[in-house]
Amino acid sequence: MLAAVMASDINWDPALSRLITTLKESDNLSNDQEIDFLKALLESKELNALVNVHTKVAKVGRDERLAPVLSTSSQVLYEVLEQLSQHCHLSDDCKEAFHLLQDSHVQHLLFAHDAIAQKDFYPHLPEVPIEMDEDEETIKIVQLVKSNEPLGATIKTDEETGKIIIARIMHGGAADRSGLIHVGDEVIEVNSINVEGKTPGDVLTILQNSEGTITFKLVPADTKGAQRESKVRVRAHFDYNPDVDPYIPCKEAGLAFQRGDVLHIVAQDDAYWWQARKDHERSARAGLIPSRALQERRILHERTQRESNDLDSKPGSCASLCTTPPGSPRLQTSSSSSSCRQPKTKKIMYDLTENDDFDRELIATYEEVAKLYPRPGVYRPVVLIGAPGVGRNELRRRLIARDPEKFRSPVPYTTRPMRTGEVPGREYIFVARDKMDADIEAGKFVEHGEYKGHLYGTSAESVKSIVNAGCVCVLSPHYQAIKTLRTAQLKPFLIHIKPPELSVLKATRTEARAKSTFDEANARSFTDEEFEDMVKSAERIDFIYGHFFDVDIVNGELVNAFEQLVQHVQRLENEPLWAPSMWVQ
- Contact positions vs ligand ATP (CB under 6 A): 343, 346, 386, 388-394, 476, 508-509, 512, 514-515, 517, 555, 558, 561
Give bridge partners of residue 372 from the DSSP assignment: 577
- The CB-nearest residue to ligand ATP is 391
Nearest approach in angstroms of CB 389 to ligand ATP is 4
Separation CA 44–CA 10 (nearest Å): 11
Beta strand segments in 92-195, E = 140-145, 153-157, 164-169, 186-190, 193-194
Count of C-beta atoms within a 10 Å radius of residue 473: 24
Let me know: does 391 contact 497? Beta carbons within 8 Å. Answer: yes
Nearest approach in angstroms of CB 355 to ligand ATP is 20
Nearest approach in angstroms of CB 507 to ligand ATP is 9
Task: Cite the DSSP H helix spans in 170-291.
Answer: 174-178, 200-208
Nearest approach in angstroms of CB 252 to ligand ATP is 45
Q: Quick one: which of 407, 365, 405 has its CA closest to 493?
A: 407
Nearest approach in angstroms of CB 155 to ligand ATP is 56
Nearer to ligand ATP among residue 113 and residue 515 (C-beta)? 515
Nearer to ligand ATP among residue 224 and residue 397 (C-beta)? 397
Q: Quick one: which of 585, 578, 581, 570 has its CA closest to 89?
A: 570
Q: What pairing do the DSSP bridges indicate for beta strands 186-190 and 193-194?
A: antiparallel
Beta strand segments in 158-272, E = 164-169, 186-190, 193-194, 213-219, 233-236, 262-267
- 79-83 own/partner pairs: CB under 8 Å, 24+ apart: 81/576, 82/371, 82/575, 82/576
Nearest approach in angstroms of CB 491 to ligand ATP is 23
38, 51, 86, 211, 370 from 577: Cα distances, Å = 59, 48, 11, 46, 8
Nearer to ligand ATP among residue 480 and residue 508 (C-beta)? 508
Q: Is 515 buried (19+), middle (13-18) or exposed (0-12) by CB count in 10 A?
A: middle
Separation CA 527–CA 387 (nearest Å): 15
Nearest approach in angstroms of CB 512 to ligand ATP is 4
Q: What pairing do the DSSP bridges indicate for beta strands 472-475 and 407-408?
A: parallel
Separation CA 146–CA 153 (nearest Å): 13
Separation CA 496–CA 335 (nearest Å): 23
Nearest approach in angstroms of CB 457 to ligand ATP is 16
Nearer to ligand ATP among residue 248 and residue 538 (C-beta)? 538
Separation CA 365–CA 528 (nearest Å): 37
Nearer to ligand ATP among residue 298 and residue 346 (C-beta)? 346
Nearest approach in angstroms of CB 506 to ligand ATP is 10
Nearer to ligand ATP among residue 290 and residue 500 (C-beta)? 500
Amino acid at 463: V
Nearer to ligand ATP among residue 163 and residue 398 (C-beta)? 398
Let me know: does 216 contact 241? Beta carbons within 8 Å. Answer: no
Count of C-beta atoms within a 10 Å radius of residue 171: 25
Nearer to ligand ATP among residue 260 and residue 343 (C-beta)? 343
Query: Strand, coil or helix: what is 171?
Result: coil
Nearer to ligand ATP among residue 84 and residue 387 (C-beta)? 387
Let me know: does 324 contact 331? Beta carbons within 8 Å. Answer: yes
Query: Strand, coil or helix: what is 370?
Result: strand
Nearest approach in angstroms of CB 479 to ligand ATP is 10
319: left (phi over 0), alpha (psi -120 to 50) or beta: alpha
Nearest approach in angstroms of CB 569 to ligand ATP is 17
Nearer to ligand ATP among residue 333 and residue 393 (C-beta)? 393
Nearest approach in angstroms of CB 561 to ligand ATP is 6
Nearest approach in angstroms of CB 407 to ligand ATP is 15
Nearer to ligand ATP among residue 380 and residue 478 (C-beta)? 478
Nearest approach in angstroms of CB 515 to ligand ATP is 5
Amino acid at 504: V
Nearer to ligand ATP among residue 182 and residue 392 (C-beta)? 392
Go through the chain and tell me how many residues it has.
585
Query: Strand, coil or helix: what is 144?
Result: strand
Nearer to ligand ATP among residue 110 and residue 384 (C-beta)? 384
80, 300, 360, 388, 463 from 350: Cα distances, Å = 45, 29, 18, 12, 20
Nearer to ligand ATP among residue 168 and residue 536 (C-beta)? 536
